[in-house]
Structure 1
């Protein structure tokens, strides 16, 4: 399948993915070439709509219009394999949509999640937050497993729970960055339970003990989703899920690091995994995949000592 090339000779989707610091790009490398290209196009789509929603230099109404344009184009791309979008990333994604039967419903839910960021900056309950995480993260998982390939229906539960787990990990890591945008993705009912005010979150001055409690509570919910994802993944489908399992391991270790040093969440420097840790996770995932073994290294805080790396 041909894709549009940027001046550098690479597809636009490749350039978008390469320019991102996301761990997702790392997870694509073990995939067969065709699936890697499809995932690169899918990731570029997700990255672009996310960037539109987060671009505070553009008026909200204009961002709404841009998301609507992407929504209309992806609808047309899903409906007609011959559709030629003027948006290069969608043009590159279109053949893969039909090769892997990607669902417009999932794309639409994803865009609706991005639209939520334009008019919602608080989530009252865990249920409200789960609905948001479904739209912006679980949908990506549901699209991805179609590309990876699966036989057992429980793979959809795997995608749902892993999406929830990864997004909750992101929410914890990005507390400070979101506060700078006047956004709070922590459930307000949890803040009330812990006697943490919205002002303390926005001003990044949550008392140390309360911050530790907050991380403990959020980590417990994320951990449950990691566990449920692992339990939902059938041995029949495990060999195809190397990329998502790599993501699960990377983000699990990130969550463990956050849990071990919660005070760092409010500092300017974002908590990250070291290159050594990432390489270790990649190698471990490849080995488990090669020997078709079940990866037991995420989902239980008792599996390893808290990471200090």
Structure 2
């Protein structure tokens, strides 16, 4: 548990002041997709990405008193009065959130998900996996939907799914890196309750072992699940303004290509971090243009099956089902 907060709020957010630079450095896939948004929406999307990146750094303890800061943000979000000069930078983000009508309940669920990562994660079931992916990424889908000027609750259901799909891809590509931090997001009932330490050991061993085989099978299952959520996420494209449709389709297809690349290598590359290279992004862009023009052109009813483990969470409605 982190100790009392002794940080200066004026210094913690400064690395994220230039949101475009942050996006270009840390979010190459999203930075590529941003080109399709236009300046105004592109700048707003970069600001949201920058703040989410900042939260990730806090949760990974890359910045001092990370979890204490996130917990303090949650208190301020719930209406707690802060001393003058305290949490000023978060207040600025809340101004941005209110100006763009972002869902504060989704923001709160995101903060809760990051706080939950304080203890080393060893998820037990697919339901746990989907709840985690909703909190740390499905919520971001809702926030991004609002940033792009779409406030339709039916659209939020698909935005949640695209966020979940991307997080499942993140988990697949970062399985070894997460294990080195004591985290295992692959459900225990998928991988015979492998520990993070066992995954680390297998990642460092070039030989094929029973453990590496279990990881490979789990990643196959994980990315098959991700593809179901990508498909639902893309069905949300018709809800978005025209330029935003292309940008989100590009980001989704580029991210999905990471999983396709891992599958193409038969998951033997899992000990290293797979990325979407320039070629994959170009192919994803053409695929996205086809999606927007020919594939995902009509609004369709959201599938109840995808949210059966999420009922009761913000913007997950039984009427979607």
Asked if the contact 2:158/2:233 (under 8 Å) is kept, the reply is yes
Aligned length: 274
The one-character-per-residue Cα deviations of 1:155-179 (angstroms, maximum 9, x if unpaired) are: 1121111111111111010011001
Q: How does 1:284-299 map to 2 (within 5 A)?
A: 284-285=287-288, 289=292, 292-294=293-295
**TM-score normalised by length of structure 1:** 0.77
Asked if the contact 1:161/1:226 (under 8 Å) is kept, the reply is yes
Match for residue 191 of structure 1? Answer: 191
Structure 1 residues 287 and 225: CA distance shift in structure 2, 3 A: closer
**Gaps (5+ residues) in structure 2?**
1-9, 204-208, 298-321
Cα distance in 1 between the residues matched to 2:35 and 2:79? 30
Relative contact order (alpha carbons < 8 A, sep ≥ 6): 1 or 2 greater?
Answer: 2
The one-character-per-residue Cα deviations of 1:179-223 (angstroms, maximum 9, x if unpaired) are: 11011010011112xx75654323235535433322221122112
Structure 1 residues 276 and 141: CA distance shift in structure 2, 3 A: same
Match for residue 33 of structure 1? Answer: 39
Asked if the contact 1:13/1:41 (under 8 Å) is kept, the reply is yes
- RMSD of the alignment, in Å? 3.2
Q: How does 1:24-103 map to 2 (within 5 A)?
A: 24-55=30-61, 58=64, 62-73=65-76, 87-88=88-89, 91=92, 93-103=93-103
Match for residue 270 of structure 2? Answer: 265
Structure 1 residues 64 and 223: CA distance shift in structure 2, 3 A: same
Match for residue 301 of structure 2? Answer: none
2:222 maps to 1:224: no
Match for residue 149 of structure 2? Answer: 149
Cα distance in 2 between the residues matched to 1:227 and 1:107? 24
Report runs of 4+ in structure 1 exceeding 6 Å deviation: none
TM-fit CA distance, 1:115: 0.8
Asked if the contact 1:162/1:226 (under 8 Å) is kept, the reply is yes
**TM-score normalised by length of structure 2:** 0.74
Q: Secondary structure at the match of 1:204?
A: helix
Cα distance in 2 between the residues matched to 1:68 and 1:236? 34
TM-fit CA distance, 1:284: 4.6
Structure 1 residues 143 and 137: CA distance shift in structure 2, 3 A: same
**Gaps (5+ residues) in structure 1?**
297-309
TM-fit CA distance, 1:114: 0.9
